[in-house]
Structure 1
Amino acid sequence: MTPPASRDGTPQVSNARPARHQHLSDEELRAALAEASGSRTDGERLQKVLARAGVASRRHSEQLIDAGRVEVNGKTVTRQGVRVNPETDVIRVDGVRVQTDQSLRYFVLNKPRGVHSTMSDDMGRPCVGDFVAEQTAAGQRLFHVGRLDADTEGLIMLTNDGELANRLTHPRYEVSKTYVATVLGEADRELVRALCEGVELDDGPVKADSAQIIDTYNGESLVRVELHEGRKHVVRRLLKALGYPVQRLVRTKIHTVALGEQRPGILRALNRAELTSLYKAVGL
């Protein structure tokens, strides 16, 4: 079609662009309009996701949203009916992250002595992977968070949450770990002072965040040591350097996650309070 002419007879050329959505299907058009208006047509309603995650009932979750206490991907949400993707969106209530991805798993194992911190062992030795064989057979790809040497017992975490695992083991976040050591020698306050002041090891200085003598008996002592170091055999080397060789070592706590009465060889899932505390500790 010939374009209309201007008054002087020259063809008039239009600079107008075709409508953005004129070639979109009805479904694509609805999605584009939803994006432009700041709403979503996919995902699940935010209050339903919060209720399923155990934050509160659906009604109370709606009240949290109304009060401006809920964030999605760093933005405060105050409108009801907002839809989210629980597997990818970061949701926080009162600044604390809520774990909404149902595919993520978190376990605590009380590792027995003699068990290796690997998911499998080519030599057939017992390893932590043996204790989650049922979960891995069901398709869960779990891995251990950090290591305990074979002779060290106690708390080790297993998860498929790579970001949390990386941060828990990264020195930057200084996540504390607590050990109870049975050592040769009857310890006194001098040992506590030395642990907290620090010792120069062959790979650099190290010191405990806190230390306590729990008991002394028959030429041995029970000593609790808390530190955020992650170097290999660091607790054993630290106590040996101070003249108290370790006879038995048990990790009892990582940050606020504790073994409590959990027996060796027993596996349990983290509860929501423990998981929330770990997320907060590493800034997730």
Structure 2
Amino acid sequence: MTDATTGSVTQGGAEGVRLQKVLSAAGVASRRVIEDYIVAGRIRVNGVVVSELGRRIDPEKDLVDVDGTAVQLDVSKRYVMLNKPTGVVSSMRDENGRPDLRRFTQDYEERLYNVGRLDAETSGLLLLTNDGELAHVLAHPSFGVTKVYIAKVEGAVTAQTIAKLTKGVDLEDGPIAADKARLLDASTGSAARGKAASLVELTLHSGRNRIVRRMMAAVGHPVTELVRRQFGPLHLGTLPAGKTRELTKIELGALLTLSRRDTRAGTSDGEQQENE
């Protein structure tokens, strides 16, 4: 069992729950298979490889990973991906009566909340969960979780503009540079009517308010449509607009691994919460 002051795990003893039982309940594998994992040195508790089959842990305190991927031991936690449509505000109850997220969470027994925000006119990947600790890590700008957006913008974007986005542009709240930027299409939209448009993919870890729209406006290409395709290790894939699905075990493991790594790294505060 975990020592409250040191975070270490008791070697053996009657306290705690057998590791095989906990991981089996978490859906990792059968108890027999988990024993094979232990023998092969594939399981760690609080960063230490487990070597004995009789190891007991405290599921509420100890952190377990298998092959380097974190495992959620609390089966009451739920993680849901939403492809938020445009016209919906990122709130569980909007004071102005606009469409909010309640319609997407009402069929779940747990009280789910959104991690971060997308503005009403931005669509795409939004994570809903009842895991407050993970939500704090992922939503807080200081942890710098990477997001990937595809923006439809006015005008024909050039290679020079793409280079400027990665080099950095000056905004009213300070300079900002995209981690990555690439031109997907420079002839989309209503070009037939004499109005050129482009598709640009931007990768950012910034959490500044409406950052994609402001960056593109600063380089002369206002955004007309914006979708978030990726949030950390999560990809929107083919999930239709307005639909939800629970994260796969692989997705959840990657998300938990990221959040635990960032928590250990400990970064400083400094930017607003995202609201693209």
TM-score higher than 0.5: yes
Question: Cα offset for 1:164?
Answer: 1.3
Partner of residue 203 from structure 1, selected from 152, 169, 173? 173
Q: How does 1:211-226 map to 2 (within 5 A)?
A: 211-217=181-187, 218=191, 219-226=196-203
Aligned residue in 2 for 1:257: 234
| Aligned-partner SS, 1:248 | strand
**Hey, what's the Cα distance between the residues in 2 that align with 1:186 and 1:72?**
53
Amino acid at match of 2:256: Y
**Hey, what's the Cα distance between the residues in 1 that align with 2:215 and 2:64?**
41
**Hey, what's the Cα distance between the residues in 2 that align with 1:36 and 1:247?**
57
Q: Does 1:60 align with 2:67?
A: no
Aligned residue in 2 for 1:184: 154
**Superposition RMSD in Å:** 2.0
Q: How does 1:99-118 map to 2 (within 5 A)?
A: 99-118=72-91
Question: Cα offset for 1:202?
Answer: 0.4
Partner of residue 206 from structure 2, selected from 226, 229, 245? 229
Deviation digits for residues 1-31 of structure 1 (CA, Å, limit 9, x no counterpart): xxxxxxxxxxxxxxxxxxxxxxxxxxxxxxx
Q: Which runs of 4+ in 1 moved over 6 A?
A: none
Q: How does 1:33-182 map to 2 (within 5 A)?
A: 38-43=12-17, 45-135=18-108, 138=109, 140-182=110-152
Q: Tell which deviates more after alignment, 86-95 or 241-250.
A: 86-95
Q: Does 1:247 align with 2:224?
A: yes
Question: Cα offset for 1:170?
Answer: 2.6
**Hey, what's the Cα distance between the residues in 2 that align with 1:111 and 1:152?**
8
| Aligned-partner SS, 1:144 | strand
The question of whether the paired residues in 2 share the 8 Å contact of 1:176 and 1:227 is answered with yes
Instruction: Give the TM-score taking structure 2 as reference length.
Output: 0.83
The answer for unaligned runs of 5 or more in structure 2 is 1-8, 264-276
Alpha carbons of structure 1 residues 264 and 146: separation in structure 2 relative to 1, 3 Å:
same
Q: Does 1:279 align with 2:249?
A: no
Deviation digits for residues 49-77 of structure 1 (CA, Å, limit 9, x no counterpart): 22333333322210121233322234433
Amino acid at match of 2:200: V
**Hey, what's the Cα distance between the residues in 2 that align with 1:223 and 1:42?**
52
How many residue pairs get matched? 246
The question of whether the paired residues in 2 share the 8 Å contact of 1:87 and 1:102 is answered with no
Instruction: Give the TM-score taking structure 1 as reference length.
Output: 0.81
Higher relative contact order (CA 8 A, sep 6+): 2
Larger radius of gyration: 1
